[in-house]
């Protein structure tokens, strides 16, 4: 019981699949955190989560249907929240973050940074003016394979990179139903939703993108239409010496995630499990087996956030604003 007093009290807003599969296990497996409150508009989801978490030896978890009531309870002293985890539809990010900042509660949130560039700029400003940290999770930053790829590129292992290709596909025929099917609630289609992950990696590897174009399609299920793309091909130009192709789709399998970088002195093939370094003739020089661990990556992201280091929070804000600037060029 004494140890619990040292732990951070965490509230989670949004109890969808991401929270149930990834974020609640992250909190449960972190030695310095305890789940103190949950919030969702669905009483059914709240009941399901509370039932799965019930442990008589632990303190009771508070539950809320309205995020404003959650933060109100924190402000009037009925509930102690050290930070909030936010995992909600894109169009709700800004309003919930604004309420958390008003209450002085640090924010650890799912991507994207915001619904659009305007909200992203406002959120960054609110965070900086209030000195309330806002940290957006991009898990691949903590995948060993993608970090090894960055290390090899920085070391000049393949000489000067001059082009790359990204492929990211999953089989989710109905992914873009509901709020995801509308531009005003999702902010974009498959590139905004899934593409954020590997765009994060590409910008870390190669920096900002000077010019871009996208061709997208909405194939959907028969008789079902929506406003956003479920498959897209993008062309990125970083500078005169470097450009890349980004292919992404959520409609059909097989599942694929990889980045291939060609350089003047070889190539790298990077995915969530490994890095393959080849020469210019395709001969494999070295393979690094580095499987991703999603739970470990989330905990590492949480540790970065909990470190409280201003440089980490500032870099996270700047980086995610850059990603939103790219999204803005794609969709507007």
Contact of 19 with 87, CB cutoff 8 Å = yes
Share of the chain above pLDDT 90, in %: 87
Q: What is the pLDDT of residue 221?
A: 63
Q: Name the band, by pLDDT with cuts 50, 70 and 90, for residue 320.
A: very high
pLDDT digits 0-9 by tens, 109-152 = 999 999 999 999 999 999 999 999 999 999 999 999 999 999 99
User: Quick check: 3 pLDDT over 50?
Assistant: no
**What is this structure's pTM?**
0.94
The third-level CATH classification (topology) of the domain covering 144-291 is Dihydrodipicolinate Reductase; domain 2 (3.30.360)
DSSP bridge pairs for 224: none
Residue 257 φ/ψ region, left for φ over 0, alpha for ψ in the -120 to 50 degree band, beta for the rest: beta
Q: What is the mean pLDDT of residues 37-66?
A: 89
Contact of 324 with 120, CB cutoff 8 Å = yes
User: How far is it, in rounded angstroms, from Cα 47 to Cα 108?
Assistant: 23
Contact of 12 with 24, CB cutoff 8 Å = yes
- For the chain, the domains span 3-138+296-309, 144-291
User: How far is it, in rounded angstroms, from Cα 239 to Cα 243?
Assistant: 7
**Span of 35-49, 68-82, 118-132, 171-185 with lowest mean pLDDT:** 171-185
List the one residue out of 171, 22, 192 whose CA is nearest residue 111: 192
pLDDT digits 0-9 by tens, 281-315 = 999 999 999 999 999 999 999 999 999 999 999 99
Q: What is the pLDDT of residue 292?
A: 97
Burial of 95 per CB tally in 10 Å (0-12, 13-18, 19+): middle
Q: Name the band, by pLDDT with cuts 50, 70 and 90, for residue 252.
A: confident
Question: Strand 256-263 to strand 266-270: parallel, antiparallel, or no bridges (unpaired)?
Answer: antiparallel
Contact of 267 with 278, CB cutoff 8 Å = yes
Q: What is the mean pLDDT of residues 178-196?
A: 93
**Span of 8-12, 182-186, 221-225, 293-297 with lowest mean pLDDT:** 221-225
102 token code pair: 């008003």
Q: Mind giving me the DSSP string for 185-200? A: HHSSSHHHHTHHHHHH
E-strand stretches of 75-124: 83-86, 107-109
Contact of 107 with 97, CB cutoff 8 Å = yes
Query: In this structure, what are the phi and psi dihedrals at residue 291, rounded to the nearest 5 degrees?
Result: -65, 145
Mean pLDDT of the chain: 94
Which of the following CATH numbers is that of domain 3-138+296-309: 3.40.50.360, 3.30.1360.200, 3.40.50.1470, 3.40.50.720? 3.40.50.720
Q: What is the pLDDT of residue 171?
A: 85
Contact of 299 with 293, CB cutoff 8 Å = no
Contact of 122 with 271, CB cutoff 8 Å = no
Q: What is the pLDDT of residue 173?
A: 67
pLDDT digits 0-9 by tens, 209-243 = 999 999 998 876 666 667 899 999 999 999 999 99
Burial of 54 per CB tally in 10 Å (0-12, 13-18, 19+): exposed
Share of the chain above pLDDT 70, in %: 94
**Span of 47-51, 226-230, 261-265, 269-273 with lowest mean pLDDT:** 226-230
């Amino acid at each position: 019981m004494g140890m619990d007093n040292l732990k951070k009290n965490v509230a989670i807003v949004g109890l969808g699949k991401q929270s149930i599969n990834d974020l609640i296990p992250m909190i449960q497996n972190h030695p310095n955190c305890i789940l103190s409150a949950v919030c969702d508009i669905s009483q059914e989801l709240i009941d399901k989560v509370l039932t799965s978490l019930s442990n008589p030896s632990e303190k009771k978890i508070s539950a809320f249907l309205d995020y404003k009531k959650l933060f109100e309870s924190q402000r009037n002293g009925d509930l102690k929240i050290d930070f909030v985890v936010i995992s909600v539809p894109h169009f709700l990010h800004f309003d919930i973050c604004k309420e958390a900042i008003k209450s002085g509660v640090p924010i650890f949130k799912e991507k994207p940074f915001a619904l659009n560039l305007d909200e992203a700029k406002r959120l960054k400003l609110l965070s900086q003016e209030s000195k309330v940290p806002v940290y957006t999770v991009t898990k691949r930053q903590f995948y060993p394979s993608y970090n090894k790829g960055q290390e090899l590129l920085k070391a000049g292992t393949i000489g000067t990179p001059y082009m790359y290709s990204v492929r990211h596909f999953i089989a989710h025929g109905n992914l873009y139903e509901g709020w995801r099917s509308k531009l005003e609630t999702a902010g974009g289609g498959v590139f905004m939703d899934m593409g954020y992950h590997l765009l994060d990696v590409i910008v870390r590897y190669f920096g900002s993108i000077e010019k871009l174009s996208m061709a997208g399609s909405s194939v959907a299920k028969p008789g079902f239409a929506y406003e956003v793309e479920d498959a897209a091909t993008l062309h990125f130009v970083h500078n005169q010496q470097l450009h890349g192709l980004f292919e992404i789709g959520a409609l059909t399998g097989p599942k694929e995630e990889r980045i291939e970088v060609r350089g003047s002195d070889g190539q790298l093939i990077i995915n969530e499990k490994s890095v393959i370094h080849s020469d210019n003739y395709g001969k494999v020089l070295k393979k690094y087996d580095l499987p991703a661990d999603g739970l470990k990556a989330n905990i590492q992201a949480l540790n970065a956030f909990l470190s409280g280091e201003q440089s980490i929070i500032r870099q996270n804000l700047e980086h995610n604003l850059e990603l939103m600037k790219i999204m803005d060029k794609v969709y507007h």
